[in-house]
Structure 1
Amino acid sequence: MVDLEEMKAYLRVDGDEEDGLIEKLMETAERLSKDVARDDALSTATMRMAMLYATAYLYEHREEADHNDLLLSLRALLMGERKAAF
């Protein structure tokens, strides 16, 4: 869906010192996005944007992230994709 190089370009990160951190944040962002959308098989442009947004949010606010704010933003982004139930 989103690879490491694309995410680093989106974050404007040069070098590979933080690759491990970014990969972990990408995994977290994917899981959060799928949980919010209530769908493990999403592969839409909306889901991709949610992953980019969530990873960037977690990266930029890694020391003081407001996870409630992040979840509200993801719900707004994914509302059209969200299933009624699992």
Structure 2
Amino acid sequence: MPSYADQKTIFRATDEGGFLLDVTAGTVFGFTPVAAVAWPVLSSGSGLDAAVAAVLENFDIDEATARTHLDHLITSLREHGLLERKP
């Protein structure tokens, strides 16, 4: 299972999705399988389109549904200061 870490977060993928630890806040977020595929793409600085493409490659889901799920994920991550809007 993949793991990723930076100065603010630690991510670990699991069979059921994944977990993201906000090291500075001490908060753990449970990720769905879709979010677990999207997080490495989003956290690398790639945008929504790249995350949607990764989700479509890994799941039998239509693009509109993937975008809706990822819009909600991105909003939540931004609200918690875990993802910044690119200028």
Task: Please state which band the TM-score falls in when normalised by the shorter chain.
Answer: 0.3 to 0.5
Higher RCO structure (Cα 8 Å, ≥6 apart): 1
